[in-house]
Amino acid sequence: MTGQTKHCTLSKDERLHGKKDISRLLSKGRFRVCRNFRYCFLENNGLPYSRIMVSVSKRFFKRAVKRNLLKRRIRESYRLQKDVLPDGKGADILFIYNSKEVTDSRTVSAAVRQILTDIGNEIRKK
């Protein structure tokens, strides 16, 4: 195992937590829609890395097994594709899964890539 695997991890620092940070994201962030997702992002979080939060509604999936499966798929696809975002400019991102059906990993991965590309383009503009 080389340094490559360290770059592809999702550490606790890269997960958005804390009431203050989450409320700042929800109040000042911009909401957008992409395929089965709604997402909210706030660029320039003051950190050199981006942080994410994943939400799958209990309204659509009553069983925790399916909710957790989708959250794992979203986090994994972000982990593998987080290099799409520009280095040194951190953003806070909230992924909200908005569909009644469980989609496969490829579809989730493609949607997350499109979301990260859009966010990366917004960050590069500024």
Query: Do the beta carbons of residue 120 and residue 86 sit within 8 Å?
Result: yes
pTM over 0.85: yes
CB burial of 21-46 (b: ≥16 within 10 Å; e: otherwise) equals eeeebeeebeeeebebbebbbbbebe
Cα gap 29→43, rounded to integer Å: 8
CATH 3.30.230.10 at 31-125, yes or no: yes
Query: Do the beta carbons of residue 38 and residue 98 sit within 8 Å?
Result: yes
Each of the 126 residues of the chain gets a pLDDT tens digit; together they read 444 444 677 899 999 999 999 999 999 999 999 989 999 999 989 999 999 999 999 999 999 999 999 999 999 999 999 999 988 889 999 999 999 999 999 999 999 999 999 999 998 887
Residue type at 22?
I
